[in-house]
Homo-oligomer: A and B are copies of this chain.
Amino acid sequence: MNTGKIPVGILGATGSVGQKFVELLSDHPWFKISDLAASERNSGKKYKEAVNWIQSTPLSDKIGSIKLKKCEPELDSKILFSALDASVAGEIETEFAKRGYFVISNAKNHRFDPEVPLIIPEVNPDHITLIKNQRTKGAIITNPNCSTIGLTLALKPIQDKFGINKVNVVTMQAISGAGYPGLPSMDIIENVVPYISGEETKMETEPLKILGTYYENGIVNSDMKISAQCNRVPVIDGHTECVQIALDKKTGLDEIIRCWKEFKALPQELNLPSAPMNPILYLSEANYPQPKIHRNVDGGMAVSIGRLRECSIFDFKFVVLSHNTIRGAAGGTILIAELMKAQGYFDGVIC
């Protein structure tokens, strides 16, 4: 049946983020899942036999019956979503790009390659043009870390209007961010773990590239200073972040709230299927946002902010919440693909 949809594949389809790609792409208006690829030992099995499905919507028989392929560049779909583990993502993604595939990746490996864009579609859509420097038939495009995305979306409109020179952030991150099996229940039930390996460095560096400026075929990083402290808490989905900012220009609480409320960007203008109507929801209740209540706003693609107030050390402090496996992983990555499709990048590869 020719649905007119673009066939896509998922690398690392059995893992936690891979499953989220499957879930979010199951009814996608533009893309249809054609290839599911996983580790060699699962190759040849039906997806439903290899996966330990932990999503809250049931796996359809149609997708469950797809036979898993190897992560080798002989897939039919030219557009691939990568949910590969960082231990293998680097080389596999490079290989696919060389062979003409567009790999939109949630893995960390290529995020800081100078010719690889690190994209939040509402923040730096112009960075996608970096891929012309990749000198491959295909390309690699990366999605930032889950805890980076909520933060950077919150910073973007303020950065544009008032300039930010310092950002301090302390996170309370959900367990789904650790993948599956992830944290043993004995370690996190009724507990806080004040450490997530590598996470603080990601939060202190990724926003600098994302908020950087495209200039002479490269990105000039933002020079704001970021200090991050990352914690794991017993929440299933939704990263909560306490943020403090120091600004270049003086302004007031109302102006900042207005910035957030009015913020719309290219994905909204293009009316991309996964784009939230408003990327940022500002909540005025004293005790909001909360992961259990707000993580699913606009299908998990909007970021919720609350508690903006003045700070005696920085200028302002506030709380940001975003869904870590939707906006912070699979959903954000799909939005990049939608943006690229809308901008014609995939014109040659549509079946």
Q: Say whether B242 contacts A290, CB under 8 Å.
A: no
Q: Select one of B16, B187, B188, B227 contacting A311, CB under 8 A.
A: B227
Across the interface, name the chain B residue whose C-beta is closest to A167.
B313
- A323, CB-defined interface residue at 8 Å: no
- A24, CB-defined interface residue at 8 Å: no
Report the minimum CB–CB distance from A250 to chain B (whole Å): 18
| Copies of the chain in the assembly | 4
Complex CA–CA separation, A54 to B317 (angstroms): 26
Q: Select one of B188, B244, B286 contacting A168, CB under 8 A.
A: B244
Across the interface, name the chain B residue whose C-beta is closest to A306.
B194
Q: Say whether A192 contacts B233, CB under 8 Å.
A: yes
Report the minimum CB–CB distance from A72 to chain B (whole Å): 29
Q: Select one of B58, B229, B292, B306 contacting A190, CB under 8 A.
A: B292
The interface of chain A, by Cβ under 8 A from chain B, is 16, 54, 56-58, 166, 168, 170, 172, 175-176, 180-195, 197, 204, 225-227, 229, 231, 233-236, 240, 242, 244, 286-293, 296-297, 306-307, 311-314, 317, 319
User: Given A170-B242, A182-B186, A189-B189, are A313 and B225 also a contact pair (CB < 8 Å)?
Assistant: yes
Report the minimum CB–CB distance from A8 to chain B (whole Å): 26
Q: Say whether A186 contacts B181, CB under 8 Å.
A: yes
Q: Select one of B194, B244, B292 contacting A289, CB under 8 A.
A: B194
Report the minimum CB–CB distance from A198 to chain B (whole Å): 11
Q: Chain B residues near A307 (CB, 8 Å)?
A: 194-195
Q: Say whether B194 contacts A287, CB under 8 Å.
A: yes
Complex CA–CA separation, A306 to B193 (angstroms): 11
Report the minimum CB–CB distance from A189 to chain B (whole Å): 6
Across the interface, name the chain B residue whose C-beta is closest to A297.
B58
Q: Select one of B180, B181, B192, B306 contacting A172, CB under 8 A.
A: B192
Q: Chain B residues near A231 (CB, 8 Å)?
A: 172, 240, 242
Q: Indicate the member of A191, A291, A306 with the most B CB atoms within 10 Å.
A: A191
Report the minimum CB–CB distance from A55 to chain B (whole Å): 8
Q: List 7 A-B contacts (CB under 8 A).
A: A57-B296, A175-B186, A181-B184, A181-B186, A184-B185, A190-B292, A192-B240
Complex CA–CA separation, A307 to B317 (angstroms): 24
Complex CA–CA separation, A235 to B56 (angstroms): 15
Q: Select one of B184, B242, B287, B288 contacting A180, CB under 8 A.
A: B184
Q: Indicate the member of A172, A193, A194 with the most B CB atoms within 10 Å.
A: A194
Q: Say whether A235 contacts B190, CB under 8 Å.
A: yes
Report the minimum CB–CB distance from A57 to chain B (whole Å): 8
User: Given A186-B181, A226-B312, A234-B233, are A192 and B290 also a contact pair (CB < 8 Å)?
Assistant: yes
Report the minimum CB–CB distance from A175 to chain B (whole Å): 5
Q: Select one of B180, B187, B312 contacting A227, CB under 8 A.
A: B312
Q: Chain B residues near A183 (CB, 8 Å)?
A: 184-185
In the A-B complex, the 3 residue pairs with the smallest Cβ-Cβ separation, listed nearest first, are A181-B184, A170-B170, A195-B287
Q: Chain B residues near A191 (CB, 8 Å)?
A: 235, 290-293
Q: Say whether B296 contacts A54, CB under 8 Å.
A: no
Q: Chain B residues near A58 (CB, 8 Å)?
A: 297
Complex CA–CA separation, A317 to B288 (angstroms): 27
Complex CA–CA separation, A57 to B233 (angstroms): 22
Q: Chain B residues near A286 (CB, 8 Å)?
A: 195, 197
Complex CA–CA separation, A292 to B53 (angstroms): 12
Report the minimum CB–CB distance from A213 to chain B (whole Å): 21
